[in-house]
């Protein structure tokens, strides 16, 4: 047996021994297996797409210890033995899903040659670009997307018109979206030629199309939107449509809460 096979078997045993010591919720097990984030796993369960030992599970609360046969969307799932972290510079025109029922291009189409099964962490809208993390590490995905952890995300938005100081303060204080005020944001504005401006915004939430909706509500629709950082990790010099593996330093930076100086200037 070669070194890689030996290490893979050892990792598999370690994962199973850990799981057998304490039962865990089905959605957490699915995240550990690299199928999806916990939130997406919950949606799959509620949609009737998951069975445990041949029995359909459609409600939260099911516990597993790794000895069961778990099938999601017709495929048996098992714990991943190697964690993979991908940093992708998403272009406009791609959806952040593994598969799209409407047949649109997905970010998975940009990962040609990647053997490991990964999924997007969070999302960027079809018409937005920028930094996207893909992984099979359900625990890290949970930490990065759960509101409790308030991971910063920095965006650059090209908007119509030039926001006044009063408008910028509105964005900083938060605006009402569907009756709920957005959390305070950090905002900087640079006027451009042609009655337009560039807004740099740091938010700590992940509400649907949040930056676009915030800008539109204060009268400055977004023409283009790019995410340049997640936590302390910047997009850097990754070309649009390309990707690279994350380093250990990258992973540490993703959970670091930066100030504007460290988040607004992409690194090498």
Tell me the catalytic residues.
125
Q: Tokens 């100081």 correspond to what residue? A: 165
CA end-to-end span of the chain, whole Å? 40
DSSP states along 132-188: EEEES-HHHHHHHH-GGG---EEEEEEEES---HHHHHHHHH--EETTEEPPP-EEE
The contacts of residue 169 (CB under 8 Å, 6+ apart) are none
DSSP label at 95?
Answer: B
Cα(19)–Cα(167) distance, rounded to whole angstroms? Answer: 52
């Amino acid at each position: 047996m070669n070194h890689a096979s030996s290490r893979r078997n050892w990792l598999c045993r370690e994962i199973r021994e850990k799981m057998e010591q304490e039962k865990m919720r089905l959605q957490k097990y699915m995240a550990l297996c690299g199928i999806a984030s916990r939130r997406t796993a919950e949606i799959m369960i509620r949609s009737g797409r998951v069975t445990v030992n041949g029995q359909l599970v459609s409600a939260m609360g099911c516990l597993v210890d790794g000895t069961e046969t778990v099938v999601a969307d017709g495929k048996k799932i098992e714990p991943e033995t190697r964690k993979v972290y991908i940093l992708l510079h998403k272009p406009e025109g791609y959806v952040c899903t593994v598969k799209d029922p409407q047949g649109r291009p997905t970010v998975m189409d940009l990962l040609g040659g990647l053997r490991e099964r990964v999924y997007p962490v969070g999302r960027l809208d079809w018409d937005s670009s920028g930094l996207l993390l893909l992984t099979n590490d359900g625990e890290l995905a949970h930490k990065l997307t759960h509101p409790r952890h308030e991971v910063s995300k920095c965006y650059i938005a090209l908007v119509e018109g030039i926001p006044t100081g009063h408008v910028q303060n509105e964005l900083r204080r938060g605006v009402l979206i569907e009756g709920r005020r957005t959390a305070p944001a950090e905002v900087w504005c640079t006027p451009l030629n042609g009655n337009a401006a560039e807004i740099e915004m740091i938010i700590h939430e992940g509400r649907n199309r949040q930056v676009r909706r915030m800008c539109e509500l204060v009268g400055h629709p977004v023409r283009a939107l790019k995410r340049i950082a997640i936590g302390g990790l910047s997009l850097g010099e990754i070309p649009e449509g390309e990707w690279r593996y994350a380093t250990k330093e990258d992973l540490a930076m993703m959970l670091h809460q930066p100030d504007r100086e460290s988040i607004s200037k992409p690194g090498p």
